Amino acid sequence: MSDVRPDTPLRVLIVEDEALIAFDLEAQIEDCGYEVTDIAQDVASCQAAARRVRPDVALMDYRLKNGDSGRVAATWLREELDVPCIFLSGNLDEATRALLGPLHPVAFVGKPLLPPALRAALEKADALRAGPG
Amino acid sequence: MEHSVPCRNNSLETRSALQEAGAEALFDNRTDTLRIDAADLLSSLPRSVAVIDSDMVYIDVSDAFLDMTGRTREELVGSPVFEMFPPGAAEVAPSGNLVRDSFRRVFETAKPDRLDTYYYPIAGAGDGLLERRWWRADNRPILRNGRVVAVLHDVEDVTADVIARRDRDIRDRLIESLSAVGTWEFRPQEGSIVASAALVEMFGLEGQAAEGPAEPFLDRIHPEDLPSVTAAFEAKADAPIGAPVDIDFRVVTPEGSERWLACRSELVRSEPRASVTFVGVSLDITDSKNREATLTETIAERDRLLEQKEVLLGEVNHRIKNSLQIVSSILKLDANQARDDRMQGRLRAAASRVQAVASVHELIYRAGQVDTVEFGEYLGDLCRAMEDSLPLEIALIHNSIPLRVSTDRAISLALLVNELVANSVAHAFRDKKDGTIAVKAAVRDERLELSVSDDGDGKPVTPTHRGLGTRIIAAMVSQLEAELQQSPGARGGHVVHLSMPIGS
């Protein structure tokens, strides 16, 4: 599987309104050898950042700045750019997960973030990059 | 003259005698009283009266009778009654013509015969169209020598009453059906009641007589409410007509269920000294009473839950603060164990950052408010906590302003101030060992102006520096939508100035 994977490192867009948590994520992603394209706080900045550099995957918080919803940002990413998401969520209920199903998220990673869980999710995204479906 | 039949075409003896005397009205010589002609008397009677003979022919009528029927005396006198006013097929009683029957009974029995409200349409005087009319009649015998010679037909047009009563009955029935209103007349002194079907049902007395003793109704009133009900009516026993008795009480049904009735009534009295009657209506308000009770309970429960929520939130913040304090302490312990200075500095900085966040939770717990915190108070707390970890020679001073900020912004501000103070310590006092760091806050043009200044001799933080502290400052400045400016201080040190919206 790693044979068909592109040579460039996985590009990750972080969509997280808590700046320090975003920094932490950035450090962990870079530790894994991947690249962070940008850090966005809400739907508008997510759209702007993704247009500038199309990421391979977005690390998406469910509750964003100014009451924005991560679902709106994730839907836009999937529909406009076919970018999948890893959802960062400590406590998403079943109904919300079902609602996100059609977006085919790569993974749900709980908060607080544990490096092994994030690493596993990113590796899965990297593998999917070879050819989804 | 007494017992004489007043008559116009069949002159009577008395009348003839009077006419012969050439007088319409004379003084009786023997008694000195005015003597009145019977025909004239009949004519001016205020009631509508007709004299009818055994052939059912009008002998004479009063003017009022003419007014009422819209006929002339010439038309009526000498005409058969039931040719002038023929009974229609639909208008007569099933047994026949009830008016004719009544006249016949009077002729046969020589006794008065009453006709209660009956329907008998008559043709209008002008257009001849049948008019719907209701009547009440009192038919009395006119006797001569013990024999009935004519009937005095005293008739009253009660059409307006009947229509009014019918309309009122319809209204009452509709009101009862619409809102379960029971109507009643209660005579407390006689202990009797007249109740509508709806009231009987409200008291759970189905099958009982709607008119009779009030006792069965009073027995159903809740024992706790009965004294006040009885007292309410007794209090108004001597009150003037129209005095209201308004009272709500419970009725206990045989099954044991309770029902709330709201009763509104007014006192009526036919004569000044007569016993009183209360005419009233009752409305079943059980549902609204129950809703009221449920609502009261719900509100009490809500208040209890809100109180509980406050306590729990306070508890949660207390625990968060404690946990953060523990984390901060672990980091400090770690710092003390660290062998090299760099590691010790890093761990102390981390402990200080955690402590800055903890101080906000401490304040939330103390103030009992979760959404916002008092900024001035919290800045004091923060500075005192930071001063404890500063070298003794460096003083940390601050001012206090009254301003509330949201908890989220307070945490960001706490981290920001912590980093700026730490920066001053690290850079300004690298060589100089003593001095003062001042944290000043002010509100200008709806913006929070915050400055951290020192009188040290260090260099300002360069923007290219990628230390964690610098990154935290950048992150917090962006999160708070603040503008950061650095300049040399007046006392030779360095000033960092922040301007930001107060936020919600």
Q: What is the pLDDT confidence band of residue B464, given thresholds at 50, 70 and 90?
A: very low
Name the CATH code of domain A11-127 (choices 3.40.1370.10, 3.40.50.20, 3.40.50.2300, 3.40.50.300): 3.40.50.2300
- Cβ distance B471 to A22 less than 8 Å, yes or no, reads no
What is the β-pairing status of strands A107-109 and B113-119?
Answer: unpaired
Instruction: Please check the confidence at residue A53 and state whether its pLDDT lies above 90.
Output: yes
Q: What local confidence, expressed as pLDDT, does residue B204 receive?
A: 87
Stretch among A28-32, A115-119, B340-344, B348-352 having the lowest mean pLDDT: A115-119
B441-455 b/e (C-beta count within 10 Å ≥ 16 → b): beeeeeebebbbbbb
Instruction: Please check the confidence at residue B159 and state whether its pLDDT lies above 60.
Output: yes
Assigned CATH topology for domain B371-504: Heat Shock Protein 90 (3.30.565)
- From the number of C-beta atoms within 10 Å of its C-beta (0-12, 13-18, 19+), residue B248 rates as middle
Instruction: Please check the confidence at residue A15 and state whether its pLDDT lies above 90.
Output: yes
Mean pLDDT, rounded, for B95-112: 87
Assigned CATH topology for domain B179-284: Beta-Lactamase (3.30.450)
Instruction: Please check the confidence at residue A52 and state whether its pLDDT lies above 90.
Output: yes
| Percentage of chain A lying above the pLDDT 70 cut | 88
Q: What local confidence, expressed as pLDDT, does residue A31 receive?
A: 86
At B79 the three-state DSSP class reads coil
Mean pLDDT, rounded, for B55-66: 93
Instruction: Please check the confidence at residue B335 and state whether its pLDDT lies above 90.
Output: no
At B112 the three-state DSSP class reads coil
Assigned CATH topology for domain B13-157: Beta-Lactamase (3.30.450)
State the DSSP code for B58: E
Nearest C-alpha in A relative to B415: A20
Backbone φ and ψ for B399, nearest 5 degrees, come out as -110, 170
Q: What is the pLDDT confidence band of residue A76, given thresholds at 50, 70 and 90?
A: very high
Q: What is the pLDDT confidence band of residue A1, given thresholds at 50, 70 and 90?
A: very low
Instruction: Please check the confidence at residue B315 and state whether its pLDDT lies above 90.
Output: no
Chain B residues near residue A20 by CB distance under 8 angstroms = 415, 472, 475
Mean pLDDT, rounded, for A59-72: 85
Q: What local confidence, expressed as pLDDT, does residue B18 receive?
A: 44
Q: B68, B122 in Cβ contact below 8 A? A: no
- Cβ distance B415 to A20 less than 8 Å, yes or no, reads yes
Instruction: Please check the confidence at residue B174 and state whether its pLDDT lies above 50.
Output: yes
Chain A residues near residue B476 by CB distance under 8 angstroms = 19
**CA-based nearest distance A101→chain B, Å:** 31
Mean pLDDT, rounded, for B333-348: 86
Distance CA B331, CA B348 (A): 7
User: Hunting for tokens 């790693």 — which residue is that?
Assistant: A2
Chain A residues near residue B415 by CB distance under 8 angstroms = 20
Q: A132, A5 in Cβ contact below 8 A? A: no
User: Hunting for tokens 């009947």 — which residue is that?
Assistant: B162
Instruction: Please check the confidence at residue B333 and state whether its pLDDT lies above 50.
Output: yes
List, for residues B279-313, the tens digit of each pLDDT value: 999 988 888 888 999 999 999 999 999 888 888 88
Q: B273, B257 in Cβ contact below 8 A? A: no
Q: Which two tokens stand for residue B334?
A: 């770690």
- Cβ distance B476 to A23 less than 8 Å, yes or no, reads no
Instruction: Please check the confidence at residue A13 and state whether its pLDDT lies above 50.
Output: yes
**CA-based nearest distance B472→chain A, Å:** 7
At B70 the three-state DSSP class reads coil
Distance CA A41, CA A104 (A): 22
Reference B477, options B437, B420, B428, B421; nearest CA is B420
Q: B473, B417 in Cβ contact below 8 A? A: no
Stretch among B20-34, B255-269, B418-432 having the lowest mean pLDDT: B20-34
At B45 the three-state DSSP class reads coil
Mean pLDDT, rounded, for B59-76: 91
**CA-based nearest distance A98→chain B, Å:** 30
Q: What is the pLDDT confidence band of residue B165, given thresholds at 50, 70 and 90?
A: confident
Nearest C-alpha in B relative to A16: B479
Q: What local confidence, expressed as pLDDT, does residue B461 receive?
A: 53
Q: What local confidence, expressed as pLDDT, does residue B8 receive?
A: 46
- Highest-confidence range of B19-23, B103-107, B336-340, B453-457, by mean pLDDT? B103-107
Q: B73, B58 in Cβ contact below 8 A? A: no
Instruction: Please check the confidence at residue B323 and state whether its pLDDT lies above 80.
Output: yes
Q: What is the pLDDT confidence band of residue B455, given thresholds at 50, 70 and 90?
A: confident
Nearest C-alpha in A relative to B408: A18
Q: What local confidence, expressed as pLDDT, does residue B260 receive?
A: 92
Distance CA B163, CA A129 (A): 91
Q: What local confidence, expressed as pLDDT, does residue B136 receive?
A: 92
Domain boundaries, chain A: 11-127
Q: What local confidence, expressed as pLDDT, does residue B2 receive?
A: 42
Instruction: Please check the confidence at residue A65 and state whether its pLDDT lies above 70.
Output: yes
Chain A residues near residue B472 by CB distance under 8 angstroms = 20, 23
Mean pLDDT, rounded, for B328-351: 87
Q: What is the mean pLDDT of chain B?
A: 82
Distance CA A71, CA A50 (A): 15
For residues B313 and B141, which has the higher predicted lDDT (pLDDT)? B141
Mean pLDDT, rounded, for B440-469: 76
Is A27 within 8 Å of chain B by CB? no
Q: What local confidence, expressed as pLDDT, does residue B94 receive?
A: 55
Q: Is the ipTM of this structure higher than 0.85?
A: no
Is B480 within 8 Å of chain A by CB? no
**CA-based nearest distance A112→chain B, Å:** 15
For residues B296 and A117, which has the higher predicted lDDT (pLDDT)? B296
Instruction: Please check the confidence at residue B20 and state whether its pLDDT lies above 80.
Output: no
Instruction: Please check the confidence at residue A37 and state whether its pLDDT lies above 50.
Output: yes
List, for residues B71-102, the tens digit of each pLDDT value: 999 999 999 998 888 876 555 555 558 888 89
Q: What local confidence, expressed as pLDDT, does residue B408 receive?
A: 84
| Interface with B, mutate which of A16, A18, A20, A63 (most B CBs under 10 A) | A20
> Radius of gyration over alpha carbons of chain B, in Å?
52
List, for residues B410-442, the tens digit of each pLDDT value: 888 888 988 888 888 877 777 777 788 888 888
Is A53 within 8 Å of chain B by CB? no
Chain B residues near residue A23 by CB distance under 8 angstroms = 471-472, 475
Chain B residues near residue A19 by CB distance under 8 angstroms = 475-476, 478-479
Q: What local confidence, expressed as pLDDT, does residue B88 receive?
A: 66
Chain B residues near residue A40 by CB distance under 8 angstroms = none
Stretch among B340-349, B379-388, B457-466 having the lowest mean pLDDT: B457-466
Q: What local confidence, expressed as pLDDT, does residue B23 receive?
A: 45
- Cβ distance A20 to B475 less than 8 Å, yes or no, reads yes
**CA-based nearest distance B484→chain A, Å:** 17
Alpha-carbon B255 to chain mean position: 30
Is A19 within 8 Å of chain B by CB? yes
- Cβ distance B472 to A20 less than 8 Å, yes or no, reads yes
Q: What local confidence, expressed as pLDDT, does residue A92 receive?
A: 67
